[in-house]
Each structure stands twice: as structure tokens, then as C-alpha cells.
Structure 1
Amino acid sequence: MDFMNIIRKLQNTLAAFLLLASCPTVIAQELEKPQGDVILKITGHISRTNENGVALFDMAMLEALPQTSFQTTTIWTEGKITFSGVSLHDLLIAVGSSGARLRTLALNDYAVEIPVSEAIEGGPIVATRADGAYMSVREKGPLWIVYPFDLQARYRSELTYSRSIWQLREIAVVD
């Protein structure tokens, strides 16, 4: 293993530890069960679940988490759009995440990995709304991981665009 891989592993481990340490009281509680249609499934290295070691979320559960929004342009839409939803950071805290990477999966089976180190305050959100309206599957919904592209130049890259998975249905937290 080369030196840079060792450094990356240490950074990912530290990011996962800091994420866990930031909210220890939430981790001990069990998640409520979804009452509506399940729109997101989170598996893997999580400590808060609601069904057989898995965290299932309906829209109401996602909207009960702290909400955030930002306005940005994307390469897939026209003009500035206000996206709102739960930050990826807060979602990982809610499930007691302890992994280093997120394997995300869309309704059409598109899959991409996102390092947990990107799940920071002011970073990507799991958007449930665009300009205040729920997003249909046709409009890249119901869930879309959106980065604040206009707020930080580092987010305007092919790699970040590939991580902006729409029609999100599942996240697996892995080492």
C-alpha cells in the first residue's frame, strides 16, 4: 500500500469517528418505523435501525430531520434552483454511521461511491424538494444528492457530478 492510500484511509477513519462522536445521544436511540411508502433504505455500518439491522425512511421521517437548503445551478437543469432536504451529514448522524464510504444506488440501478469525508456541514444534501416542490421520478426525484455547486468551485468537477445521484433509493455505509 502506498503512502497516499494510507493517508486517505486515515482521513476516512478520522472523518467517520468525528461524525460518530458529534452526536452520541442520538446513536443510542432506535429509529421510528416508517408510516408511509419507504423511499430510502440505509444499510451497512449503522447503529440506529428500525427493521432487521436496516434503516428505512419514508418522506415524513426524512423531513423530520434537520432541514437545509441552498440555491445553485446544475448541469442538468436550467437556471438557479433552491434545493432543500436533509444534509448528508445529518442523515449519517441520524443512523449512527461508522463507515468510510457510501455506496449509493438509484432506482435505475446507477451506483456510485461517495467518501463519508464529503458529508460535511455546508456540503451535499439529500434533496426532497426543488423550488419548494417535491420532485417526481421524472424530475430526478424523489431523492437527489445535490452539492452546492455554485458555493464552492471544488464541487464543479466530473467526479462530483458523478456523485450527484438522482432517484436515490439506497445507501450502504461501508469501510
Structure 2
Amino acid sequence: MRSAVFALMVLIGVAAAALPSAPSSAAGPLPQPSGAPLLTVDGAIDATNRDGKAVFDRAMLERLGMHALRTGTTWTDGVNTFEGVLARDVMAAVGARGDTVIAIAINDYRIDIPVSDFSDYDVLFALRMDGKDLTARDKGPLWIVYPRDDHAELQDGRRDHRWVWQLNALRVE
């Protein structure tokens, strides 16, 4: 009987070890950026890499996993393909603990965005549009893009102010 129980416990342990682990959110300090900083996140976060802030360069963002989204916008013609990192993946990487994100653009435009938007929708911090890197001349290097065409409620113009272009900072509150 004891050997059967022991064998069962070993089997359960082996099975548990074989299960894929969930990605850890902010399992420690973030690596240092090696390129030009594109995004700085501060506020209620657990993972940092520079003076209490999380600073990301392009490569760090891309390593979080790139996703594509096809949608129309108020500011461009037709349907465009955007590529970038999911906002919720950035929030997980920094261990965000707040309910609101203040998105801040290069020109100091600021808007409060509920963190729930990032779990409710596949919101991108877009780095590319139609196969081309976004630059400051065309709303980059980061543009907050919502999957507008996939959700009727996102087609309401009152949400357009959340599409921050030339994004360079987030504050989690």
C-alpha cells in the first residue's frame, strides 16, 4: 500500500512539473535597456530597472511578444495593420498594481486610461503600421491602438482620446 501511495505521489509530482508554467509578472528586476529608451513606466509597479522606474527600449518591448491588429482609425485612411506589444503584457512585465494608467505623449498630452481596457481589449502599443516602423512624424515611435473594428463600443468617438500617439511614458495609479 505504501509503495502504491508513493508511486502515485511521484506520478503527480512528475505530471505537475510537466505542466507549462504561467508567465510570471515582474518576477524580479527588469534588464537594463541597451538601446534608446522608448517607454518609461512609473508609479504603482513592482519591477524596475532605473531609479524606481521601468525603462524599455525597442528590443525589450519586442521581447514581450509582438502581435498584429488590423483596424481602421479616425486619423488614417482605410484599414491598417498595426504591430506591437499588448498593453496588458507591459503591465504584467512591470507588475502594475493600479486601476488607472496615465498615458503621456512626447508633447505632454496626458489622458487617464482604465487598466481594465487592457484586459478587456487587445490594446497595442504599436511600433509598426503597414509594415513600417512608426516614427515621430507618423504618430510613433509608440501609438496606443485599440481594436476598434472588432468592438462596436470602441467605434464611439468619445474613446478616440485614448489613442495616444508619440507615447513615451505611463504612470500607473
| Pair in the same fold by TM > 0.5 | yes
How many residue pairs end up in the alignment?
A: 152
TM-score by length of 2: 0.84
Rounded to whole Å, the distance in 1 between the matches of 2:78 and 2:62 is: 25
- Within a 5 Å distance, the mapping from 1:80-91 to structure 2 comes to 80-91=79-90
SS at 1:119's partner residue?
Answer: helix
Q: Match of 2:145, as an amino acid?
A: V
Rounded to whole Å, the distance in 2 between the matches of 1:26 and 1:159 is: 32
TM-score by length of 1: 0.83
User: 2:59 — aligned with what?
Assistant: 60
SS at 2:92's partner residue?
Answer: helix
Rounded to whole Å, the distance in 2 between the matches of 1:59 and 1:151 is: 27
User: 1:130 — aligned with what?
Assistant: 129
Please tell me the root mean square deviation across aligned C-alpha atoms, in Å: 1.3
**In 2, are the aligned partners of 1:31 and 1:49 still within 8 Å (CA)?**
yes
| Cα shift at 1:27 | 2.0
- Within a 5 Å distance, the mapping from 1:112-151 to structure 2 comes to 112-120=111-119, 122-151=121-150
Identical pairs, percent: 41
In structure 2, the CA distance between the partners of 1:68 and 1:122, relative to structure 1 (3 Å rule), is farther
Rounded to whole Å, the distance in 1 between the matches of 2:121 and 2:98 is: 20
Structure 2 residues without counterparts, runs of 5 or longer: 1-21
Deviations along 1:70-112, whole A, 9 cap, x unmatched? 1011010011110010111111001100000000110111110
Q: Match of 1:169, as an amino acid?
A: N
Which of the two has higher C-alpha Rg? 2
In structure 2, the CA distance between the partners of 1:42 and 1:71, relative to structure 1 (3 Å rule), is same
User: 2:48 — aligned with what?
Assistant: 49
Rounded to whole Å, the distance in 1 between the matches of 2:50 and 2:116 is: 27
User: 2:15 — aligned with what?
Assistant: none
Structure 1 residues without counterparts, runs of 5 or longer: 1-22
